[in-house]
Each structure stands twice: as C-alpha cells, then as structure tokens.
Amino acid sequence: MIDKEYLLRSIRDIPDFPKPGIVFKDITTLLNDKKAFTMLMEHLEDRYKSYDLDFVAGIESRGFIFGAALATRLGIGFVPVRKKGKLPYTTISEKYALEYGYDEVEIHIDAFRGKNKRVLLIDDLIATGGTAEAAAKLIQKTEQNLVEACFIIELSFLDGRKKLENITKVYSVLEIA
C-alpha cells in the first residue's frame, strides 16, 4: 500500500506557472525524494507485474522518466511518444487540439516490433487529456493492445479521463479534485 499523502506532499506547487491562474505540479521534488520515488515505482511495479506487458510507452517528456524506470523494473521495452519532429526515423503521428490551434505527437512506425503487443501508456499528469488521447490513438494505429493509461497525477476537475475511457482503462495514482 502506498502512502498517497506522502507522495502528494512530495510534489511542489508552483503558482502562476506557466501563466497566471495555473498551479503547476512540479514532480522534480518527488523525483529527488528517494523515499517518494522508490515508493511510487514499487507501487507501479506491483500493479503492472501481472499484466504481461510487452512495452511501456511514455509521453514526452516526464512520461519518459516514469516509463523508462517502470519498463526496466518489469524487464520490458520502452517506447517514447515524442513531439513532432523529434524522432530520427520514419514516424506516424496524431494531432490533438490545443486551446488555440493544434499540436502533434509521433512514434516510430516500428516502435513496438510487431503487432498486438500489450502496451501500457504512462505520463506524469493528465489534465484535459488531449495529449494522452492522441498518444493512445497512435498506439492503436500501430495495431497494438493498449492495456491501460497510467498517470501519476490526475487533475480530475478538468475531466481529461473522459477522453480516454472510450479507448482504454485509466488509472491514476494520485487525484487532485
């Protein structure tokens, strides 16, 4: 059992970043707290060790930290989901809406080394869900079995989970209402 209060206390709030009215959840303080980070990674390993996963896909950039660490603990591969133009080989992409305009995420066309692999999608935080939804759709485009989307923090008042629930199961370690 994880101590959710300890984990929540290990995350620093930065008011008015990146713009006024937003409270940024800074996970660097969780990462440099060895007790918090170890507790979190042990919890994720315990949760997913029986899922028979083939890959963990992590969303740029903080999803790389948790995803790569978890993949290593589970003895499986890691796939980076990157912003457009950051991967060197042939990619496929998925657009998603921003407040004003669009952005895209990409993966290599051969990222999962075949089809029907069991994949966990992970990121540090889900807010409105646009990036996570695009990443989930990318995984589906490559004909993989997206088992679940996992987030360390869910800002539940923004309802981002709803964009994913019609694609895959959603799990959040910590919820901020």
Sheet containing 118-126: which strands, arranged edge to edge? 91-98, 101-108, 77-83, 55-59, 118-126, 145-155, 169-176
d(CA 139, CA 81): 9
From the number of C-beta atoms within 10 Å of its C-beta (0-12, 13-18, 19+), residue 177 rates as: exposed
Length of the chain equals 177
Q: How far are the Cα atoms of 44, 80, 122, 143 from residue 109, in angstroms, in the given order?
A: 27, 12, 19, 11
Residues 6+ apart with CB under 8 A from 38: none
Annotated catalytic residue, options 47, 62, 73, 118: 62
User: Is 99 part of the annotated catalytic residue set?
Assistant: yes
User: Is 5 part of the annotated catalytic residue set?
Assistant: no
Catalytic residues: 62, 99
